[in-house]
Amino acid sequence: MPRFSNLLRSVKREFDSLTTTQLIFVLFILIFFLLLPVFSILYKAFIFQGHLSIQQFEQTFSDPDMIKYPPNLQFFKLMHRYRFEVLPNGSRILVPLTTLVIGAEGPDFGYIFNSIFVSTCVMIFASIIGTIAAFIMARYNFPGKNIFRVLLFIPLLATPFVNAYVIGKVLGEGGLLNYILRHVLHAPFTVVISGLPAVILIQTLSFFPIVYMNVLSSIINIDPSLEEQAENLGAHGFKLFRTITFPLSLPGLAAGATLVFVFSMEDLGAPIGLAGAFGDGLHNKLMSFYVYTQFQQAFSLEQVSPSAYVVALIMLMIAVVAFMIIKKYVSLRQYAMLAKGGRWSPRVRRLGPLGMLAVYAFMIPLVIISCFPQIGVVVLALTNWATSGAIPTSFTLEYMRALVTKPDVVTAIRNSVTYAGLAILITIILGTSAAYIVIRRKIPGRDIIDVMTTIPIVIPGIIVAVGYLIFFGSVFFKTFMDPFINPGALLVFTYTVRRSPFLTRSVVAGLQQTHVSLEEAAMNLGASRVKTFFSIVIPLISANVIGGAILSFVYMMNEVSTSLLLGAHNPAQGPITFLMSQVIYSTGTVGAVSIAAALGVLLMVLQITAISLSNYILKQRVAFLGV
Amino acid sequence: MVTVRLDNVVKTFGKVVAVDHVTLTINHGEFFSFLGPSGCGKTTTLRVIAGLEWCDSGRIFFDDQEVTDLPPYKRNTGMVFQNYALWPHMTVFDNIAYGLKIRKLPKDEIRRRVKEVLELVKLSGMENRYPTQLSGGQQQRVALARALVVEPRVLLLDEPLSNLDAKLRIEMREEIKRIQKKLGITAIYVTHDQEEAMVISDRIAVLNQGKVMQVGTPQELYRRPRNLFVATFLGRYTIFRGKVSEVDPSRVVTVKAGSLIVKGMPPAPDIKVREGDEVVIIIRPHSFKLIPPAKPHNVIEGIIDWVSYIGPYFEIRVKASGVDFLLNVDPETPVRIGERIKAYVSVEETMVFPISATKDMAYMQELK
């Protein structure tokens, strides 16, 4: 048995008290608060009346609401109407008015394929826009470049629901777009965009910067000598881009595009925000919204339609496939940087007048349109725009004041801060432990821990929430951990699991930059592993811990899906985003939308502060989603 | 002071055998070096001794105590890392005092011992500097002081001079040797620089592909290499193949290499050569003399092909009977390319190695 005794010996050597404690903690959190809940969806989807069955799949797939066959492909229709116009002399005349209605009645492929259609379109559009923007920003110099650099980040500032509401308000019948068409351009027609096209528009605007940043970092990391060699051999211009630059930035594009696909699929902000602006319609005939309503309205698991589990499982499968694609391409990204050596002088060119014109013609409309939702949120929060029609007419601080005076708003803010605060404490321990085990310890199966700490980036929050409702709702039925009674306690853990990747990745980067011999030197001088960890490792990576923690904290504050699904079961424990969704979706009281906008402004301020702070601490630009 | 004993130590990384059944004894107070090309397993062997890597099998002893399964922090070795591994968030004082604080020594004793060791490495007054404020040589001294201050049983040095410039390297290696002799501590030194190993060591183990090729004093290794690897790894040489045509009882071997016939000897008594064997002849450049020696010798006569002036001597290449000879000649001697030259090398210094194993053949290919 020498093999077995060797194994025993190596286990004894590797599992010192620090490693054992860290490992147990990490495994406990990941198994209990990620794996078991997510796997319980699998269980629920395949178990029908106590038996293993695929009946629920058959039911779901034959439901015409889920998969519509044949699909409705009516993308737009023209409506001819007459309406009164007031002439300058005061008399009123009837004028013919043609309205182009886009998306209201079609396309419609049913819940499942609507989601896939939307995500695919968003992925394609975001990839095209993001890649062009990245190439321009990486390779050309032009006046105002730094302003564009900042503006391209603005769409990433999350203002859940309100940004979609703003777009809805612009695209609607009496919205800003038609106000301009009629009163400024005196056009004989109006346009209304809703349904899936509106979702695609909103999501493309908010997600293209993810592609932009991933492609940008790919291009910047390409060794210039690779392009110089190609030029030396006679390639230039578009040929150089097509044969060298673009292929080498493909890993960044693949990772960015996949993330956009998943984010689009799980997004609740657009469907809920649009429903707030237009009422229910095709824009919320999406998988995410379906699962959301099923679980949000249920008082117990029995009331949930079996199809909801099937849909949740489909979303989970798509996310897992996406993760595998990203993993593959992100490791591929290294090939662009193989030949690192010498000092890189960035290959940035000045533009001629024609080129400059082309760049501005692309960049200026892009940043104006893509920043509009965020600007609109601020306007909504500070004026009477919510009730004044197409354009705001008066300024007010009333809604900002509500943040500190209105009891339910104050409660929501306090809830969010409490959950995120507790979650960040757990996240710090979880993230540093997991990163340390993955990078420094030679424990069998550490790759699995690596995957489990990264994969939450792509797992839709709705899936996590559904998993929690199933797992904790049945195993901890009528206890402190029952999400139908006490969702607040569980929100702490959904925040931890969903947002810890930011901190873990940051600490991993810190450990990779810190030479392992610094720890070995301490152990060589007699310090145990625990002592080494606290006296050497922690001080050396503290910047990464703090930087990562700040980012994680902010993304916890604006976490949407689990906040909505779990919060719904005890509104008194609902966080900020839950309250925002409530006021937007129900649009009950006058001015409610503006309060949501005020909360959106609060979240934006938090994000800007946090990102600047962590950039300052980490002394480098944080890749928003460095998976 | 301690004797370090490795008994059949094996360490693999996946399929790569980094340390291959190494058995060695390092005597107390000895300055011992592991020398070999990169990837030969010398650093891994050192790390196994420090406990920073666990060996797969085999045992390690410090005197009579087995330390094979002891974690690094219970072995009381003092290691100097290649990159010094000074903690950037601590001052020089805190770096050096770290091990003493771990050992819970009283504050004033810590202060006294840090002061002493700083004097020893000639860094007095630098206590409050941070590592980044020191030059490379100073950082090296701090790393040495930090390892020495805890009075370790063994001092382990992992290529400590490789990051210094050439001049400082020579200064520091003398410094390290001086301190080691003064303290009488057992020191194990890892380097790929043969000159450094020769100068600093009492004994050297030459490693290749995880195996110990030979252990001995620098003179033994240089003058009586036991195999082709050691002979070719240390110093420069002339090399050519041939076939043994005669072996006489005094171990003088006659070798025929093409039109050239030379007499040589295996450098160590246990190297066996028989008639008809394929062999390799190795001759050091300084073994050639321009005046015939009194001892039995070979005569080489050929055309000078290349001359380079090294400083203390000329290094010249001579083509003779299809073999490229490398000779050192006195700088006073007039040598010019294209001229004929006659040189002599004693039979004793004409080293003969059998090549039998396929491994040696492959190695020969590499040398070509």
ipTM: 0.82
Distance CA A88, CA A86 (A): 7
Torsion, Cα B68 B69 B73 B77, to 10 degrees, reads 0
In the numeric block, the tokens 């995880």 are attached to B210
Query: Per CATH, which fold does A62-379 belong to?
Result: MetI-like fold (1.10.3720)
Tokens matching residue B324 = 């490229």
Structural domain spans, chain A: 2-30+402-574, 62-379
b/e per residue A585-599 (b: at least 16 CB within 10 A) = bebeeebbbbbbbbb
- Contact call for residues A552 and A500 (beta carbons, < 8 A): yes
Contact flag B99-A518 (C-beta cutoff 8 Å)? no
Is the alpha carbon torsion for A480, A483, A487, A491 positive or negative?
positive
In the numeric block, the tokens 């490792």 are attached to A537
Contact residues for A274 (Cβ-Cβ < 8 A; gap 6+):
A164, A165, A167, A168, A194, A198, A199, A202, A281, A283, A284
Judged on CB neighbours under 10 Å (0-12, 13-18, 19+), B7 is middle
Average pLDDT for A348-362: 87
Task: Render pLDDT for A600-618 as a digit per residue (tens, 0 to 9).
Answer: 999 999 888 888 887 777 6
Q: Measured between CB atoms, does B131 come within 8 Å of chain A?
A: no
Average pLDDT for A493-512: 90
Contact flag B69-A536 (C-beta cutoff 8 Å)? no
Q: Measured between CB atoms, does B83 come within 8 Å of chain A?
A: yes
> How confident is residue A338, by pLDDT bands cut at 50, 70 and 90?
very low
Q: For residue A110, what are the CA distances in angstroms to A60, A73, A122, A286?
A: 11, 11, 18, 8
- Smallest CA–CA distance, residue A430 to chain B, in Å, is 24
Q: Measured between CB atoms, does B13 come within 8 Å of chain A?
A: no
Where chain B has pLDDT below 70, the residues are 1, 356-368
- Give the residue on B whose Cα is nearest the Cα of A7: B56
Look at residue A335 and tell me whether its pLDDT is greater than 70: no
pLDDT score for B272:
85
Indicate the range of A296-300, A308-312, B160-164 predicted with least confidence.
Answer: A296-300
Q: Measured between CB atoms, does B140 come within 8 Å of chain A?
A: no
Nearest to A521 among B51, B71, B81 (CB): B81
pLDDT score for A531:
93
> What is the pLDDT of chain A when averaged over all its residues?
85
Distance CA A562, CA A107 (A): 29
Reduced 3-state DSSP string for chain B: CCCEEEEEEEEEECCEEEEEEEEEEECCCCEEEEECCCCCCHHHHHHHHHCCCCCCEEEEEECCEECCCCCHHHCCEEEECCCCCCCCCCCHHHHHHHHHHHCCCCHHHHHHHHHHHHHHCCCCCCCCCCHHHCCHHHHHHHHHHHHHCCCCCEEEEECCCCCCCHHHHHHHHHHHHHHHHHHCCEEEEEECCHHHHHHHCCEEEEEECCEEEEEECHHHHHHCCCCHHHHHHCCCCEEEEEEEEEECCCCCEEEEECCEEEEEECCCCCCCCCCCCEEEEEECHHHCECCCCCCCEEEEEEEEEEEEECCCCEEEEEEECCEEEEEEECCCCCCCCCCEEEEEEEHHHCEEEECCCHHHHHHHHHHC
Using DSSP's 3-state secondary structure scheme, residue A350 falls into: strand
Distance CA B198, CA B103 (A): 36
The dihedrals phi and psi of A89, each to the nearest 5 degrees, come to -80, 0
Contact flag A9-B69 (C-beta cutoff 8 Å)? yes
Distance CA A337, CA A226 (A): 10
Strands (E), A278-361: 349-350
Cβ neighbours, 10 Å, residue A581 = 27
Task: Render pLDDT for A280-294 as a digit per residue (tens, 0 to 9).
Answer: 888 889 999 999 888
Look at residue A28 and tell me whether its pLDDT is greater than 70: yes
- Contact call for residues A106 and A114 (beta carbons, < 8 A): no
CB < 8 Å to A517, chain B: 81-83, 85
Contact flag A13-B69 (C-beta cutoff 8 Å)? yes
Most confident of A114-123, A186-195, A322-331, B239-248: A114-123
Distance CA A374, CA A376 (A): 5
Which residues on adjacent β-strands are paired with residue B324? B319
Nearest to A526 among B57, B76, B88 (CB): B76
pLDDT score for A614:
77
Q: Measured between CB atoms, does B87 come within 8 Å of chain A?
A: yes
Look at residue A501 and tell me whether its pLDDT is greater than 60: yes
Contact flag B83-A524 (C-beta cutoff 8 Å)? no
- Smallest CA–CA distance, residue B89 to chain A, in Å, is 7
Q: Which of A524, A529, A536 to mutate to test the interface with B (most CBs of B within 10 A)?
A: A524
Contact residues for A177 (Cβ-Cβ < 8 A; gap 6+):
A170, A171, A191
pLDDT score for A627:
31
Helices A592-618/A538-557 angle, 10° precision: 170
Distance CA B91, CA B100 (A): 15
CB < 8 Å to B74, chain A: 526
CB < 8 Å to B99, chain A: 525-527
- Smallest CA–CA distance, residue A3 to chain B, in Å, is 10
- Smallest CA–CA distance, residue B102 to chain A, in Å, is 6
Taking only Cα atoms into account, the Rg of chain A, rounded to an integer number of angstroms, comes to 26
Q: For residue A317, what are the CA distances in angstroms to A42, A55, A140, A457?
A: 10, 19, 40, 14
pLDDT score for A188:
78
Contact flag B79-A520 (C-beta cutoff 8 Å)? yes
pLDDT score for A622:
45
- Smallest CA–CA distance, residue B271 to chain A, in Å, is 37
- The answer to whether the A2-30+402-574 and A62-379 domains have the same CATH topology is yes
- Give the residue on B whose Cα is nearest the Cα of A523: B73
* Residue type for position A396: T
Contact residues for B167 (Cβ-Cβ < 8 A; gap 6+):
none
Task: Render pLDDT for A85-141 as a digit per residue (tens, 0 to 9).
Answer: 777 787 887 877 788 888 888 789 999 999 999 999 999 999 999 999 999 998 888
Distance CA A518, CA A511 (A): 11
> How confident is residue A14, by pLDDT bands cut at 50, 70 and 90?
confident
Peptide bond into A407 cis (omega under 30): no
In the numeric block, the tokens 């950037």 are attached to B88
pLDDT score for A332:
56
Judged on CB neighbours under 10 Å (0-12, 13-18, 19+), A487 is buried
Helix (H) or strand (E) holding A497: helix A487-513
> How confident is residue A623, by pLDDT bands cut at 50, 70 and 90?
very low
Average pLDDT for A295-318: 85
* HSE-up (13 A, CA, CB side) for residue A599: 31
Nearest to B85 among A9, A517, A527 (CB): A517
- Give the residue on A whose Cα is nearest the Cα of B95: A522
Q: Which of A8, A16, A525 to mutate to test the interface with B (most CBs of B within 10 A)?
A: A525
Is the alpha carbon torsion for B174, B179, B185, B191 positive or negative?
negative
> How confident is residue A336, by pLDDT bands cut at 50, 70 and 90?
very low
Contact flag B71-A523 (C-beta cutoff 8 Å)? yes
Distance CA A619, CA B3 (A): 49
Domain A2-30+402-574 has CATH 1.10.3720.10: yes
Tokens matching residue A400 = 């900002």
Distance CA A487, CA A562 (A): 10
pLDDT score for A441:
86
Contact flag A521-B85 (C-beta cutoff 8 Å)? yes
pLDDT score for B113:
95
pLDDT score for B208:
92
Nearest to A523 among B72, B103, B150 (CB): B72
CB < 8 Å to A527, chain B: 73, 98-99, 102
- Give the residue on B whose Cα is nearest the Cα of A16: B71
Using DSSP's 3-state secondary structure scheme, residue A533 falls into: helix
